[in-house]
Homo-oligomer: A and B are copies of this chain.
Amino acid sequence: MTGRPSNAASERLRQAGLRPTRQRLALAGLLFDGGDRHVTAETLHREAIGTHVRVSLATVYNALHQFTKAGLLREVVVDAGRAYFDTNTRHHHHFFVEHDGALSDIAAGGVEVSRLPAPPAGTEVERVDVVVRIRRRQG
């Protein structure tokens, strides 16, 4: 076992300026090997533990924030009590089921926001987020 690790996750981390440590590689594998995902620190940590990766919850938080700063993830604000992270970093919006915390994407082209008023003097728009809160129909 001499060669440097050089799989996709490792390369992705390297290019983001983050050392491909054991913990980060494992978390990146869970996050990026597959389709788009939405996670919280808690769900990702539980998943890591479930696959026998030894990593603390604090490290999961650190990694999620580092990945976000590096542009590999995007934070989604839909719940005042919990931070969600999305592996889809393209501009898009969300459906959110408050009852169970389920999140799903709406492609940017799927919603049109028009007639936005000018932002307050001295400020500029950074991003426009649309959250469609939905609930399961009773029955």
A-side interface residues toward B, CB under 8 Å? 75, 77-84, 95, 97-98, 104, 106, 110-117, 119-120, 122-137
The residues of B that contact A111 with a CB separation of less than 8 Å are 113-117
Cβ–Cβ < 8 Å partners of A112 in chain B = 113-115
Q: How far is it, in angstroms, between the C-alpha of A21 and the C-alpha of B94 when the chains are bound?
A: 40
Q: Tell me how far the C-beta of A136 lies from the nearest C-beta in chain B, rounded to whole angstroms.
A: 6
Known contacts A81-B83, A112-B114; A129/B126 CB under 8 A: no
Distance between Cα atoms of A103 and B30 in the complex (Å): 36
Q: Are A133 and B126 in contact (CB under 8 A)?
A: yes
Query: Are A123's CB and B135's CB within 8 A?
Result: yes
Q: A106 CA to B125 CA in the complex, in Å?
A: 14
For the complex formed, measure the closest distance between the CB of A90 and the CB atoms of chain B, giving whole angstroms.
16
Nearest CB of chain B from residue A116's CB, rounded to whole Å:
6
On whether the beta carbons of B130 and A130 are closer than 8 Å, the reply is yes
- Tell me the bound Cα distance from A117 to B81 in angstroms: 27
**When chains A and B are docked, how far (Å) is the Cα of A107 from the Cα of B137?**
29
Q: How far is the CA of A111 from the CA of B84 in the complex (A)?
A: 26
A124 cross-chain contacts in B, Cβ below 8 A: 134-135, 137
